[in-house]
Amino acid sequence: MESYYLDWANLLLRWVHVITAIAWIGSSFYFVFLDSSLVKPVSKELQDLGVGGELWAVHGGGFYNPQKYTVAPKVVPDHLHWFYWESYSTWLSGFALFTVSYLWSAGAYLIDKSLMDWSSGAAISVALSFLLVFWIVYSLICHLFGQRRNGDGIVGILVFIVVCFASWLACHWFAGRAAFLLVGAMIATAMSANVFFCIIPGQRITVKELREGRPVDPIHGQRAKQRSVHNTYFTLPVLFAMLSNHYSFTYTAQHNWIVLVAMMLAGALIRQFFVTRHGYKLGRNPHPWPYAMVGVAVIVGAIVWMQPSPGAVVASGPASTSVASASGAAGPSVKEVQKVLEQRCTMCHGPTLQMKGVRLDSLEGLKQHAQLVYQQAVVTRVMPMNNATGITDAERALIGQWFLAGASTE
């Protein structure tokens, strides 16, 4: 019964997390586009008001004219819309989902004993420390180098090095699926912390100075803008890390940390293309196509590098050549399959525990879930989780042969 309620919690939290993430990323992308597309107003009246840039747009049958003030308007209206609940809600729902999905069952989802044989408590503590330590190191880099001349480049290089090291460490300490998600959560935590500790406090100080009639210190706006720009480059790498748990060929690769770093780098480069293309349209910078081309080249390189050798058992996709060739032939008996499942699967899908509501210790249950068993154990190779029970390639092939021959339970 516990697993049933955990599944519902997982589903509902994932739903909320996706909705809030869409709201946060959508507003972030819009404001990056807006900031890159502003042009100096022609109207003398707007210039006198302190408007540094404006944009005319048409959407949904109406015309819009958003304006940005160089520092701040001379008079701050009583009602201001603050963009922060999208960020906070995304992080809170994401952390709750991470807790339900990984920390609650750390022994099954977080720990790979072939990498690190530690207790659940130790694994959870180290995993949580990734979130805190990365934020501290990242924030320190920004404080030390962010305000220097060419500081953005220095910050970018140093943060990339830290992310590479953290990815290597996570993939050598935790199960691959959890490691990818942990690195994504680590960066996402820094994104939300940027909003909570830097962007919103800086904006509150600016608003307070304006309302009290004091001179506005532009440093707060500059720091907020810098962290906001960092967040937009973090977005696509985080999304890849979060989505990768559905594609086991990424996190089960021999050098999975390189796969993770390469794909996150590709995402950041492609995001750079979209950020700077608006400036290109206004003649502010060269065409950004090299960023997109390099990003795509990195992805293609990863695909070519990771492609399996002919005849190998392939994770995610068609089953291995040896399995697929068995289609239509007389497959193994159901008793042979049951013997494998009894050794490798029924401790989590048997009379005592039925994870995901799946029970495989009876012919009726095996018949009902035959396709799911084939998909999870043979095609994607996701199960058993982290291969905790040591299922072999030969046993996976046997299950595949049985299914492709008709999945007979006679």
Average pLDDT over residues 214-239: 92
Average pLDDT over residues 67-71: 86
Average pLDDT over residues 308-329: 48
pLDDT-derived band of residue 2, with 50, 70 and 90 as boundaries?
Answer: low
Q: How far is 32 from 274, CA to CA, in rounded Å? A: 10
User: Between vectors from CA 92 to CA 90 and to CA 97, what angle results, nearest 5°?
Assistant: 90
Q: How far is 149 from 46, CA to CA, in rounded Å? A: 31
More confident: 109 or 326? 109
pLDDT of residue 316: 44
Query: What's 253's DSSP letter?
Result: S
More confident: 97 or 380? 97
15-63 pLDDT, tens digit per residue, is: 999 999 999 999 999 999 999 999 999 999 999 888 999 999 999 999 9
Instruction: Answer yes or no: are the C-beta atoms of 255 and 180 closer than 8 Å.
Output: no
More confident: 371 or 288? 288
User: Between vectors from CA 326 to CA 403 and to CA 377, what angle results, nearest 5°?
Assistant: 40
Most confident of 114-118, 212-216, 287-291: 287-291
Average pLDDT over residues 92-102: 94
Handedness of CA 119, 120, 125, 128 (dihedral sign): positive
- Short-list 125, 135, 201, CA closest to 163: 135
Average pLDDT over residues 86-92: 97
Q: Which residues contact 22 (CB under 8 A, 6 or more apart)?
A: none
Q: How far is 154 from 10, CA to CA, in rounded Å? A: 39
Rg (CA), the chain: 26
- How far CA 36 is from CA of 55, 68, 106, 287, in Å, comes to 10, 11, 44, 14
Instruction: Answer yes or no: are the C-beta atoms of 1 and 88 closer than 8 Å.
Output: no
Average pLDDT over residues 294-310: 90
| Residue that is written with structure tokens 């100096």 in the block | 40
pLDDT over 90, % of the chain: 55
Q: Record the tokens describing residue 262, joined without a space.
A: 């390469």
Q: Compute the mean pLDDT over every residue in the chain, rounded to the nearest whole number.
A: 89
Average pLDDT over residues 90-103: 94
- Short-list 352, 350, 407, CA closest to 375: 407
Q: How far is 170 from 187, CA to CA, in rounded Å? A: 13
Every domain of the chain and the residues it spans? 2-37+71-306, 321-404
Q: Record the tokens describing residue 35, joined without a space.
A: 């900031």
Q: Where are the alpha helices (DSSP H) in 174-255?
A: 176-193, 200-211, 219-243, 248-251
329-370 pLDDT, tens digit per residue, is: 567 898 999 999 989 898 888 887 777 778 888 888 888 888
pLDDT-derived band of residue 410, with 50, 70 and 90 as boundaries?
Answer: confident
Full-model pTM? 0.82
More confident: 384 or 195? 195
- Short-list 248, 189, 171, 207, CA closest to 77: 207
170-203 pLDDT, tens digit per residue, is: 999 998 999 999 999 999 999 999 999 999 999 9
Q: Residue length, the chain?
A: 410
Lowest mean per-residue pLDDT among 43-47, 155-159, 372-376: 372-376
Query: What's 408's DSSP letter?
Result: -
pLDDT of residue 24: 96
pLDDT of residue 315: 43
pLDDT of residue 330: 63
pLDDT of residue 318: 41
Q: How far is 68 from 54, CA to CA, in rounded Å? A: 6
Is residue 323 predicted with pLDDT exceeding 60?
no
User: Between vectors from CA 308 to CA 307 and to CA 312, what angle results, nearest 5°?
Assistant: 165
pLDDT over 70, % of the chain: 94
Q: Record the tokens describing residue 137, joined without a space.
A: 């190191």
pLDDT of residue 52: 92
| Residue that is written with structure tokens 């008079």 in the block | 75
